[in-house]
């Protein structure tokens, strides 16, 4: 019995350090937290698809009959912009941008006349053409709608100001062989926009952006309209309610 107790005591003393070591639990390794926010730079290029609400001039109301044969439309034009923004967290960010919107050609056609006992008599037409461009300054806010294997859909809105310029305005009246023109003129307008798009996270810092924006650019006008020989000067032609559907490709680069 004495030999058994001595053997058991020796076995316990041999196993004791091992059991004590097994009871020691190492501190868990905590992965460093990577901040989702930070300043970023952005840039984009794209194309505009613009619309005109109405073309207006005081002389259109001075004739008995007047109607537009072609209400007027703008051709598509290139756009490009840069900006700086801040990512607050995984879902909210904001930025300020400046954008140049290239010259978009404009065409419209109307006719005017009077009535006689036999019906309407059309006295002449006006074939209008011009170009329009803008500088657009916007402050925008966006909500990112989740990360789907690196693809992040988003929506947003913005407000700002647009400097709208009408240049190269011409009015050609073929039936009467009349020609008029106007100098360039620029006007500042309140502008607003709605945004939607997809961002693709190419790296931790670089995001490729495919975006759409609906932009309300306000109004624009020409300089005073003059006949080709400067013998008659009339008030400017007004371009009311200019809007655009923009499609853009861009990049965002996180600075930290």
pLDDT tens track of the chain, all 256 residues? 444 445 444 544 444 554 444 445 555 544 444 445 799 999 999 999 999 999 999 989 899 999 999 999 999 999 999 999 999 999 999 999 999 999 999 999 999 999 998 888 999 999 999 999 999 999 999 999 999 999 999 999 999 999 999 999 999 999 988 899 999 999 999 999 999 999 999 999 999 999 999 999 999 999 999 998 888 889 999 999 999 999 999 999 999 7
Q: Would you state the pLDDT for residue 240?
A: 97
Q: Is residue 101 part of a domain?
A: yes
Q: Is residue 5 part of a domain?
A: no
- pTM for the whole thing? 0.82
Element (H, E) at 6: helix 2-22
Measured in degrees and rounded to the nearest 5, phi and psi for residue 229 equal -100, 10
User: Distance (Å, rounded) from C-alpha 95 to C-alpha 84?
Assistant: 6
Q: Sign (positive/negative) of CA torsion 86, 88, 91, 94?
A: negative
User: Distance (Å, rounded) from C-alpha 176 to C-alpha 121?
Assistant: 14
Q: Would you state the pLDDT for residue 100?
A: 98
Residue 50 C-alpha from the chain's centroid:
12
Q: Is residue 84 part of a domain?
A: yes
Q: Is residue 106 part of a domain?
A: yes
Show the domain range for 81.
41-254
The total of structural domains in the chain comes to 1
User: Distance (Å, rounded) from C-alpha 65 to C-alpha 112?
Assistant: 5
Q: Would you state the pLDDT for residue 3?
A: 47
User: Distance (Å, rounded) from C-alpha 95 to C-alpha 151?
Assistant: 20
Which CATH number characterizes residue 179's domain? 2.40.160.20
Q: Would you state the pLDDT for residue 21?
A: 46
């Amino acid at each position: 019995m004495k030999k058994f107790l001595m053997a058991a005591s020796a076995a316990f003393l041999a196993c004791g350090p091992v059991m004590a070591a097994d009871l020691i639990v190492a501190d868990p390794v905590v992965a460093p937290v990577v901040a989702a926010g930070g300043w970023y730079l952005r840039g984009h290029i794209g194309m505009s698809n613009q619309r005109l609400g109405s073309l207006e001039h005081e002389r259109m109301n001075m004739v008995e009959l007047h109607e537009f044969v072609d209400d007027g439309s703008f051709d598509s034009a290139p756009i490009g912009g840069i900006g700086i923004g801040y990512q607050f967290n995984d879902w909210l960010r904001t930025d300020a941008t400046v954008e140049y919107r290239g010259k978009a050609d404009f065409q419209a056609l109307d006719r005017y006349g009077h009535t006689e006992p036999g019906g309407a008599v059309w006295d002449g037409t006006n074939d209008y053409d011009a170009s329009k461009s803008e500088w657009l300054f916007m402050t925008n806010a966006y909500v990112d709608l989740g990360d789907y294997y690196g693809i992040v859909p988003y929506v947003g809105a913005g407000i700002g100001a647009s400097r709208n310029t009408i240049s190269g305005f011409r009015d050609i009246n073929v039936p009467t062989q009349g020609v008029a023109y106007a100098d360039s003129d620029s006007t500042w307008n309140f502008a607003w926009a709605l945004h939607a798009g997809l961002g693709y996270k190419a790296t931790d810092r670089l995001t490729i952006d495919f975006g759409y924006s609906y932009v309300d650019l306000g109004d624009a006008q020409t300089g005073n309209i003059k006949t080709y020989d400067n013998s008659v000067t009339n008030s400017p032609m007004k371009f009311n309610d200019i809007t655009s559907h923009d499609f853009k490709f861009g990049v965002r680069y996180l600075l930290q």
